[in-house]
Amino acid sequence: MRVRAELFIDRSQVTGLGDNAFEVLRPDLETIAGEWARTFKRMLQLKLSRFGSGKLYKKGGKRASAEGESPAMVTGEYRNSFETDVRSITGKTRWTVFGDKTSRRASVQGRIGSKLWHFGKLLEAGNKNIRPRPHVEPTFRQWVAKWNASQK
Angle between helical axes of 21-47 and 136-150 (0-180°, round to 10): 130
Torsion of CA 34, 35, 38, 39, to 10 degrees: -150
Calpha distance 105→89 (Å, rounded): 10
62: Cα separation from own chain's centroid: 29
% the chain with pLDDT above 70: 73
User: Is residue 107 within 8 Å of 87, Cβ to Cβ?
Assistant: no
State mean pLDDT over 107-116.
82
DSSP 38-62: HHHHHHHHHHTTSPPSSPBPTTTT-
pLDDT at 95 over 50: no
pLDDT band for position 58 (cuts 50, 70, 90): confident
Residue 30 confidence (pLDDT) above 60: yes
Question: 100, 118 in Cβ contact below 8 A?
Answer: no
Residues 23-36, mean pLDDT to the nearest whole number = 81
